[in-house]
Amino acid sequence: MNDQKVAVITGSSSGIGLESALVLARNGYITYATMRSPEKDISIKEAVQNGSLPIRVVQLDVTDDTSVKNAIDHIISEAGRIDVLVNNAGYSLGGALEDLSMEEIKSQYETNLFGLIRVTQAVLPTMRKQRSGRILNISSGAGIFGFPVHSAYVSTKFAVEGLSESIAYELEPFGIKVILIEPGFVRTNFIHAMVVAKKAQDPASPYSELMQKLMANASELAKNASDADFVANIILDAASNPSPRLRYLTGKDVESWAAGKKNMDEFEFFNMIKRLIA
């Protein structure tokens, strides 16, 4: 088993996490597909049974210290190494800032940022000992520019960007590469699984019209979204490339928005984003 590279993916029950587990396993990685509630998920188990893939399903809740420690200890005990970590677990909290409770904001950060930190810290001693490893953090186009009624989500992704760029310097001397994957819209259940803040669901909210416009336009934007397997193949390339980049813009939409952010002045870019929800 030690001759094969080992990948660990968080949030593997659906979407990018699920597709990444399948793609990495098909390409020779012993893949630990971790998720909060494995007993509720059957899709990856069916894929494993049907494809005879080297995937192990492990319970891991990124918001729980004990769960993370137990899962990583189990993987290291069984596999002896960890070569690739894909920090994918996350969700989007919808609602204007005024409509978000502090508890809702804290929960968003607990999963999207602190969960990523928690798992990364658990994996790093093993990667340092190996003097090799890849840490792929699933960011977003929302880690590059702001977007209305998603301020909590966007701010977690901005934090992931800064965190990743900073630790890239710290970890390079140990042979560990840090990589940011920045998807645009992806055809997953992410939008449908978005948590809408309690106050944001109230038609009396002063931001109700804005929220409705964004939800309607998000469905329209999703029609031109990338497939999850497209993102998964970018992840495979970043995991296996001898000289990976720090950032991978993933999708024509996010490439276009990032180019606008770079080439437009702030007024022009602000108006471009406003048009997306007009």
* Average confidence (pLDDT) over 245-256: 93
* Average confidence (pLDDT) over 55-76: 97
Name the pairing type of β-strands 176-183 and 133-138.
Answer: parallel
Report how far apart, in Å, the C-alpha atoms of 175 and of each of 124, 128, 155, 164, 168 are.
11, 8, 29, 15, 10
1-10, 98-107, 182-191, 234-243 — which is least confidently predicted? 182-191
218 band by pLDDT with thresholds 50, 70 and 90? confident
For position 188, what pLDDT does the model report?
64
List pLDDT tens digits, range 199-213. 999 999 999 999 988
For position 1, what pLDDT does the model report?
47
Yes or no: say if 191 and 222 are a contact pair by the CB < 8 Å rule: yes
Please give the CATH topology (third level) of the domain spanning 6-251: Rossmann fold (3.40.50)
Yes or no: say if 197 and 101 are a contact pair by the CB < 8 Å rule: yes
For position 2, what pLDDT does the model report?
56
* Average confidence (pLDDT) over 239-248: 97
The whole-chain average pLDDT of the chain stands at: 92
Whether the per-residue pLDDT at 96 is higher than 50: the answer is: yes
Joined tokens for residue 198: 């309690």
Report d(CA 56, CA 45) in Å as an integer. 9
Whether the per-residue pLDDT at 245 is higher than 70: the answer is: yes
> So where are the chain's domains?
6-251
List pLDDT tens digits, range 150-162. 999 999 999 999 9
Whether the per-residue pLDDT at 277 is higher than 80: the answer is: no
For position 69, what pLDDT does the model report?
98
pTM of the model: 0.94
Over its C-alpha atoms, the chain yields an Rg (Å, rounded) of 19
For position 217, what pLDDT does the model report?
78
What is the distance, to the nearest Å, from the Cα of residue 168 to the centroid of all Cα atoms in its chain? 17
List pLDDT tens digits, range 33-50. 999 998 876 777 777 777
Q: Which residues are catalytic?
A: 153
Report how far apart, in Å, the C-alpha atoms of 57 and of each of 32, 43, 65, 80, 240 are.
6, 11, 19, 17, 22
Yes or no: say if 18 and 231 are a contact pair by the CB < 8 Å rule: no
